[in-house]
Amino acid sequence: MSSHYLGSRFFITAAVASLVLVSALSVQPARAAVKNAEDLFIVDCLLPGQIRSLGRVATYMSARRPVRASQAECQIRGGEYVSYDRANYQTALKVWLDQANAGSAEAQNNVGEIYSKGLGTDPDYGMAFQWFKKAADQGFNRAKINLGYLYEEGLGVPKDQAMALNLYREASGIQDELLYSSVVEVEMKAKDDKIGNLQGQVETEKANSAELREQLKRTQEQLSNQRRALQQSQTQLQETQSQLQQAKQQKDDELTKLLENQMLGQEQQISSQRQQIAALERRAGGGTDTSLLASAANFSILEPNLVATRGRNTAVVRGPGKRNIVGRVTSPKSIKQVTVNGVQTAVAANGTFNAEVDVAQAGTAVKVVALDQSGVRGELQFTMLPQATGATGNVAATSGSGGVGTLPRDVKLGRYFAVVIGNNTYRDAQYPSLKSAVSDATAVSNVLKTRYGYQTTLVLNASRLEMLTALSAMRDKMKPEDNLLVYYAGHGELSSNGATGYWVPTDGAGNNAKSWISNAAISDILSSLPAKHIMVVADSCYSGSMTRAPVPNLNAATSPDKWNAYVKTMASGRSRTALTSGGVQPVPDTGSGNHSYFARAFLNVLQDNNRLMEAQRLYREVSTSLALNSINSPIPQNPQYAPIRYAGHESGDFFFMPVKG
């Protein structure tokens, strides 16, 4: 990974003498002094009860209150907790279970997350499902998102993509016209499953064969032989019919009867041969419906953005004329060819392909076909439809009457903050110095500050304590209506079981996960921050391990009224999302001048944008730019955008709006 961003138990209880007599209001505690990085981690804290007065009649102690707070805050407030690195599901449950049993939806969701995380033991998704269901039934959106994820992945419940999608929609409060970008993926996945079942039948029918491809080859040979035999039978039938005609003309009844019986046998033989051919075609894949399938050869379309409709899949483009199609295959070495409307297109080393289609005013049908070396075929059909006149998506980002790309008058987005981290130099020799992380972070900080008006905190070559301090400091700066963007460029790591990703600070030690910062710890911190919208942009190895579930997406050709409804819905929800430079795999360091491929694409989109831009659109444009500009990259990159696991995402999306001037 040398050339890549390598994506006791103790209780503290306050003395009763220190408690203040209050009625129903709690006092905001002072911030605790931070002695080490562990003080900044979020723990399950059980605060002592308050001494309350009921007029002059009685004084009593209220029940203890569970909260999620930093170790330092819990300590100064006299709370009971277990150190972050020693906590497990039993100690966490002790904090939340009483309130969960009492009916608190938030506590029920927290209990579900405790079981789902495992916390020192294997996750218990069955118990997680039960608690998420209790909270979701009370309308708690965060629990609906968590429940949807269990259905999406088939964890503790049978996998049900439709149920997952419905829960995500319900949590986000979206209407029918507000679609998820994953709708098409879900439909294609259903087709994938159908293909998988058919291929499984082929494998079952030919269980005695050593390899499926060899058996398919033999099936195709049998099919060829059967077709030749069918042709011979049809020729013989024609000869018999001719002889029968002559016999009838000669009034040879005996010969006529003999030929009729012979012809009947030949017709039965032909019928049987046709049935055998149909069966062989099914075994060979020839009868498979792939009208909506892209994954037999495992490819995806990056541009234009596909929107699932009740008819054919549709991609709305700016207008008629020449328009690009950009796609990516997962395993480029296995692909024999890719064609777009019958014209072969080149596949780059990183799996990217693109083609130009002439889009007519009435729309143009597109058929993309990928064929791998073994003959497996993947196909996707959709219609490229020109955008309606006047519905341009490139409108200046100013408050106005509510056109597409503008901020509706009655929507306030709050202030914007950014914590931008770039680590080049590492103390441990196992982490070689990087070339572009610092320049990436510096450039991102500048564009956010100058073009978008962010209050930025730039942290370069940061230690573990410095990184956590920069994130935790946002708790005092932000208000509930504010927004926070966290950008990280540096080394990343992945746990041995592949379940947990980490950011590596400059003082991180190789092979010592306790010296890194896990995605789970970052999620806990983000969940505790007061901001309404938080987005993480991570350019490191294995950064994709922090994402989950889809985010709502809007049709590019929507009307201004629908755009306004979409912005209001997405701006009103509490969101915690992440845009990552790749999935669960390494990503390149440099490649585009002084920047990584991902950073260059991210910066280009931010600099070119001149409208209110939703993060979903940012993701699509970054993905397309990255695919086109990283053709020479040694490692294919597949950016991801999704809510962050266990960070408190409920609904909504992040918005970028350039400042005037």
pLDDT in tens, 27-51: 344 455 566 888 888 888 888 876 6
In contact, 501 and 7? CB cutoff 8 Å: yes
Q: Which two tokens stand for residue 119?
A: 């916390």
Element (H, E) at 549: none
Residues linked to residue 21 through DSSP beta bridges, in sequence order: 51
Q: Which two tokens stand for residue 241?
A: 């019919």
- The better pLDDT of the pair 81, 504 is held by 504
Per-domain residue ranges of the chain: 8-169, 291-386, 416-656
Please tell us whether the domain made up of 416-656 is placed in CATH 3.40.50.1460.
Answer: yes
How many angstroms separate the CA atoms of 486 and 537, rounded?
6
pLDDT recorded at residue 12: 26
pLDDT recorded at residue 208: 47
Strands annotated E in 155-219 = 178-180
Question: Cα angle vertex 474, ends 44, 451, to 5°?
Answer: 145
Q: Which two tokens stand for residue 303?
A: 């541009």
Highest mean pLDDT among 11-25, 428-442, 449-463: 449-463
306: Cβ contacts below 8 Å, ≥ 6 apart? 184, 313, 314, 315, 382
Q: Which two tokens stand for residue 10?
A: 């103790």
**Is it the case that residue 548 has pLDDT exceeding 60?**
no
Q: What is the DSSP string of 280-292?
A: HHHHTTTT---TT
How many angstroms separate the CA atoms of 641 and 643, rounded?
7
- The class level of CATH for 8-169 reads mainly alpha
pLDDT in tens, 208-246: 445 556 666 677 777 777 778 877 877 887 787 788 778
Q: What is the DSSP string of 398-423?
A: SBSS--TTSB-TT-----EEEEEEE-
The residue assigned the tokens 């408690």 is 19
Residue type, 478: M
Please state whether the peptide bond connecting residue 304 to the residue before it is cis, i.e. omega within 30 degrees of 0: yes
Q: What is the CATH number of domain 291-386?
A: 2.60.40.10
How many angstroms separate the CA atoms of 556 and 617, rounded?
9
Phi, psi (degrees; rounded to nearest 5) at 501 = -100, 160
How many angstroms separate the CA atoms of 496 and 501, rounded?
10
Highest mean pLDDT among 280-284, 442-446, 575-579: 442-446
Of 32, 20, 19, 12, which Cα lies nearest the Cα of 476? Answer: 32
**Burial class of residue 315 in the structure, from the number of CB atoms within 10 Å of its CB (0-12 exposed, 13-18 middle, 19+ buried):** buried
Q: Which two tokens stand for residue 155?
A: 């964890």
pLDDT recorded at residue 541: 58
Element (H, E) at 90: helix 89-101
Q: Please, how many CA atoms are within 13 Å of residue 563, restricted to the half-sphere of its CB?
A: 23
Task: Give the chain's mean pLDDT.
Answer: 76
Which phi-psi region, left, alpha or beta, contains residue 597 (left: φ > 0; alpha: ψ -120 to 50)? Answer: alpha
pLDDT in tens, 6-30: 342 222 222 323 323 333 333 344 4
